Amino acid sequence: MTLRKQVLYILENYPDTRNDDIDLTIKVWQHFPPYNENTGQDIKIHRSEKTGKYYIALEDLHWLQREDHIKRIRADIQNKDGLWLPTDPKIAEFRKKDGRGESLWKKKLGYNVKKAKPTHEQIQKAMIYK
């Protein structure tokens, strides 16, 4: 199964993963563990008996599907295909084109960020206060 199909499956069946790329990545790892060619076994997510926390052995990290790949696929599915959009309105607003999220990263990288043209209502409101 391709990574894209894996991401589609998780987004469809676990709506909370549509809002958080880390949660999405963890679910992909849990449901579709990659195969370690050196050991001939699937990568296992272990649980510490002492702390109860889950972990992956460092030597297995090379075999995991990368979070940045999963994130790009999620963005492609949501932005280009319009499928499995975020369930949290704040996340949806942050991620949308020309939304606050896009402006922030562009600004941090030194791009000239054009502000949206003010609406007629905003202009009228601004004129009242002058």
Question: Which two three-digit tokens encode residue 15?
Answer: 């709506």
- 3-class DSSP state for residue 105? helix
Q: Where are the domains of the chain?
A: 3-92, 97-130
- The pTM of this model reads 0.71
Nearest Cα residue to 56 out of 24, 30, 17: 30
* pLDDT band per the 50, 70, 90 thresholds, residue 27: very high
What is the rounded (10 degree) CA torsion for 110, 111, 117, 118?
Answer: -20
Nearest Cα residue to 27 out of 35, 38, 16, 39: 16
Higher pLDDT, 16 or 97: 16
pLDDT higher than 90, residue 16: yes
